[in-house]
Every structure is written in C-alpha cells, then in structure tokens.
Amino acid sequence: MDMLTNALVAIVDRIGEAWTLVLGGAVIGALFGAFAQQSRFCLRAATVEFSRGRIGEKTSVWLLVFTSAMFGTQLLDAIGMLTTSEARQIASPQSLSGAAIGGLLFGSGMILARGCASRLLVLSATGNLRALLSGLVFAVVAQASLRGFLSPAREALARPLTTVSTGGNDLLAMTGLDTVKAATAAGIALILSVIVATRQKVDAWRATAAFLVGLAIPAAWLFTHVMRGIAFEPITMNSLTFTGPSADTLMLFLTPPGSMMDFDVGLVPGVFIGAFIAAWLTGQLELQGFHDGRSMRRYLLGASMMGFGGMLAGGCAVGAGVTGASVFAMTAWITLFCMWLAAGVTDWLVDRGREVPSGPRPPLANQPAE
C-alpha cells in the first residue's frame, strides 16, 4: 500500500492530480478493454443463454467476472486496503425506483442493441460500425438524461423511492455481515464459478481473461481510494462504469480543453485502445456495418433505452451490475436483477421466435454482438 501511495505521489508531483487520474483511468481501462475483448465478456450474451435454459460459456464468463470483482473488492476491504463504505453508491443516497425502472429499460435495450454499453465500446474498437454508432447514441442519450432535456423525466422517475427511506444502501450493514464474511462468501462463489467454467469447457485463456476483467474493478476502487488520500481536490471513490463516463467523454469534445479531466475521462478511451490492441494482435479486427434500415432502428432504439436506463439506474451492466454489486450496494443488486429479468423477457418476445431454426444466418442481419 505504501509503495502504491508513494508511486502515485511521485506521479502527481510530475504531472498533477487531474492527469494522474486520467492516466489511471486509461491504464485500468486499457486492461479491462483488452481482457474483455479476449474473454468476450457480455451481460447480454449471458442473459440470453441463461433465459434459454442453459449455463454455457457465456454465462460462465460473466460469473467469473462478477465473482472475481466481488471477491477482490471485499478482500481489499477485509485486509484494510480499502473502505467500501466510502464508495459513491454507499456514501450518498440512491434511487430505488430508478434502480428498478432503469434496470428494466437497460435490460431490454441491451437485447435490442445486441450488447451492453461496455460490450458496444469493445466491439467498436474492433471495427464494428453498428456498435460504434449505437455507442454514440448511448452517450448522447445518457448526457441528455443527466443534464439535458431528458433530465426532468429521469428525476421524476428517481424521486418516488430512495434509500433514505430504507436507512441506507449498504446491504452488509443491513444484514450485519462484516467484510471478512463477505470476502469468504465471495471467495466460495468464485471457486464455484471456476468449477462451472471448467465443466462447460471454457478455454483456459478465455477464463483467465474473464478473471482479469473482474480484477479491474477492485483495481479501480483501490486507485481512486488512494488518490482520495493524496489529492488536494475532493475525489469520489469510484470504479468502472460506462454511462456517466461515456457522457463525460462526449462532452470533453464539446468543452474547452482541460475542463473535465478525471478518472472517468481516461476510462473510455483506455477501454477502446486496449480492445483495439488486443483485437489487432489476435487478428480479430473486422469492419462490419448495418444490414438494413430495420436492423439499424432496432440498434438505435436499444442504445437510447440503455442511455436513459443506465443514467436512471445509476449505472450500466458493469457500473451497477458488477461495480456496485461488488460493494454490496442494494440498488445495484436491484438493477442487476431487473436487467436479467427484462433481458430474458425481451429476448423471448423479440428474438427467440424469429430466429432461423437451421442453416446460416443472412450476413450481418441478426448477428449478435457477442
């Protein structure tokens, strides 16, 4: 811990607090992007597979990411390197109604867009123009939901029920569990996830990459936690999420240089660069586009639903579904449950009955993002 603190102090002295935060976000983001591309980590793919009655490679990969993120985060807290109660999701009031409604919207949207927010970003780096355009629409709608014309609707939906009425958002505090017990439970869950992945014959490299994707979450928690202690300006302890950062990155190009330099701004470009390098080194770069106008409408509608839903819920499939859950924020678990529920129902209504039962699919018409 002292070595990390001293190293960050030296970097801050050389390039300043803001650029250190950007650099940290970029480095952690690049690692996340590279390993997410290699593992093909995607909540949408996992929910579709699970809702169709099986736990296969896609669900196994998601479980490895989820449990490793939870175990790493709780372990850092248990050994005193992290204080999860300082996390934004725990330290400030959150919306319970927003978590439920936003999770439902996001879950349906990621089925229509054929990928969650982080998956769209990773795919866009490999040459997928569908994902690139959908990601841009996601960022625009997220920004409009945060500060634009959609913000009154978001606030109206978030206002009815908040964690103020429940006495907080910390599930561990509510259940009386300490971080040692939480880390132990998460460790057992991780072992079970490894067993499931082994039985499903998940490739060793893909499983390792999924494990490293999950470790990016506690790495970001630790980085922002240490930066809080050495920076003069107030810094929010946070980890990986893509709704707010995507909106902030978009605004970075529309505002004066240097006006929005923080961890989130470095995260999105870092993920893109990491995914691009990983795809380039493994020969997986491929230019892809839309098949027709109908498929394009589907993708853009899904991206819009994810942008509004993610901002309403306070996080995306990674931000709420993994990052928030890793600190046992109640709203994050509500959002995650609603995402799985809505994704399964939407897949059943939209895709399952329309898929060609045999033979090759038309090129790019219904090609999943995973």
> In angstroms, rounded to a whole number, what is the distance separating the alpha carbons of residues 323 and 314?
11
Asked if residue 245 is part of any domain, the answer here is: yes
Q: Answer whether residue 98 is part of any domain.
A: yes
Distances (CA, A) of 46 to 69, 88, 213: 17, 27, 15
CA distance 149 to 294: 27
Burial of 210 (0-12, 13-18, 19+ CB in 10 A): buried
SS3 category, 5: helix
* Confidence band of 258 (pLDDT split at 50, 70, 90): low
Q: Is 45 exposed, middle or buried (0-12, 13-18, 19+ CB in 10 A)?
A: buried
Q: What pLDDT, on a 0 to 100 scale, did the predictor assign at position 236?
A: 86
Residue 170 forms beta bridges with which residues?
A: 329
Percent of the chain with pLDDT over 70: 93
Q: Is residue 111 part of a domain?
A: yes
* 336 in any annotated domain: yes
| Cα 26 to Cα 271: distance, rounded to the nearest angstrom | 7
Q: Which two tokens stand for residue 345?
A: 């129902």
C-beta of residue 227 within 8 angstroms of C-beta of residue 235: yes
Weakest-pLDDT range from 32-41, 151-160, 288-297: 288-297
Mean pLDDT of the chain: 91
pLDDT of amino acid 361: 45
Q: What pLDDT, in 10s, does the model give residues 32-69?
A: 999 999 999 999 999 999 999 999 999 999 999 999 99
**What's the domain range around 61?**
2-352
Q: Specify whether the CB–CB gap between 115 and 318 falls below 8 A.
A: no
pLDDT at 266 over 70: yes
Helices (H), 176-242: 179-199, 204-230
Lowest mean pLDDT among 113-127, 192-206, 278-292: 278-292
- R_g of the chain computed on alpha carbons: 20
Token pair 């020969």 in the structure block, residue = 283
Of the two residues 183 and 296, the one the predictor is more confident about is 183
Report yes or no on 359 lying in a domain.
no
- CA 111/CA 134 separation, integer angstroms: 13
pLDDT of residue 369: 46
> Is 365 within the bounds of a domain?
no
Judged by average pLDDT, the poorest of 148-152, 300-304, 330-334, 364-368 is 364-368
Sign of torsion over alpha carbons 192, 193, 198, 201: positive
Alpha carbon 182 to chain centroid distance? 21
Q: Is the pLDDT of residue 363 over 70?
A: no
Question: Which pLDDT does position 257 carry in this prediction?
Answer: 58
Task: State the total domains in the chain.
Answer: 1
Across 137-146, 208-217, 356-365, least confident range = 356-365
C-beta of residue 268 within 8 angstroms of C-beta of residue 249: yes
Predicted structure pTM score? 0.92
Locate 61 and state its tokens.
Answer: 């990969």
Distance CA 19, CA 128 (A): 30
Helices then strands (H, E): number in the chain? 17, 0
Q: Dump pLDDT digits (tens) for 232-244.
A: 888 889 999 999 9
Nearest 10 degrees: Cα torsion 273, 280, 240, 80: -100
